[in-house]
Amino acid sequence: MDLTSKKTIRKLLKQHQTQALKKLGQNFLIDKKIIKKIIAELILNLPVLEIGPGIGVLTAELAKRTKKVIAVEKDLKMVEILKETIKEIKNIEVIKGDILKLNLNSLNLKSKKYQITASLPFHIVSPTIRKFLESEIPPQQMILVVQKEIAQRICAKLPHLNILAIAVQFYGKPDILGYISKKSFWPSPKVDGAILKISKICPKFPGIDSKLFFRIVKAGFSTPRKQLLNSLSQGLKIDKKIVKDWLLKNKIQPSLRPENLKLEDWVRLTESIN
């Protein structure tokens, strides 16, 4: 069964009396070259947690490269289709559930070492990435298909840093492995996609209070067009003179805007409070 064939996909959807749901971001990957590129990035034999497998176009290929695939799918109809398309493959476990509500300890990850693949709709990219990077059992790596613009934001460098980029780069190393034409999906989305890889996931700053760190970063970006002096003063509800002294003490000009600060600058600000 060729799951990259539009005819096959339409037939499966019709048999199960369903359709690709826009609200769930169900745009099925039909480009075999892109699938091969994703598979090539896997750590051989390391279990894979696949988020939103849909009809299973990637799932069967994942199973060839690893000992176990745990596929978590929110849509009941897709679960039914998936169980049909992968029924002959023994090392795939299908779980019906919402990944954002799922307790990771409930997954059968005996070694606690695993990797993630997912094609994520716009509205759950940030919460999904944060959930796993902040987890007590984070993955070894994440290979994600996301919108091109989001991938670029996550991989941003100075002077275009943003709160999402800082949040991801605080925990790991993001890289864009390539871009994906919207024609590589069916139904075609409105925008092109990208393959985003997040690797080297580990505590970069183990002594840092992460809650305090993100509180400071969020305050800094609460009014991104304003100077740091104003945004931090308003966001943290601290007198401007105290904020100015705090910034200067850490060799940061109060007139800078938040997107001009390196990750290490935010870390230094947090450490100076501790």
Distance CA 246, CA 226 (A): 17
Residue 149 phi/psi, 5° resolution?
-65, -40
Is residue 52 marked as binding? yes
Is residue 73 marked as binding? yes
Instruction: Supply 94's token pair.
Output: 């299908």
Distance CA 59, CA 177 (A): 20
Is residue 119 marked as binding? yes
Is residue 2 marked as binding? no
DSSP track, the chain: --TT-HHHHHHHHHHTT----GGGT--EE--HHHHHHHHHTSPTT--EEEE--TTSTTHHHHHHHSS-EEEEES-HHHHHHHHHHTTT-TTEEEEES-TTT--GGGS--TTS--EEEEE--GGGHHHHHHHHHTSSS--S-EEEEEEHHHHHHHT--TTS--HHHHHHHTTSEEEEEEEE-GGGEES--SS-EEEEEEE--S-SSTTS-HHHHHHHHHHHHSSTTS-HHHHHHHHHT--HHHHHHHHHHTT--TT--GGGS-HHHHHHHHHHH-
Is residue 27 marked as binding? yes
Is residue 136 marked as binding? no
- Binding-site residue numbers for S-adenosyl-L-methionine are 27, 29, 52, 73, 98, 119
- Binding-site residue numbers are 27, 29, 52, 73, 98, 119
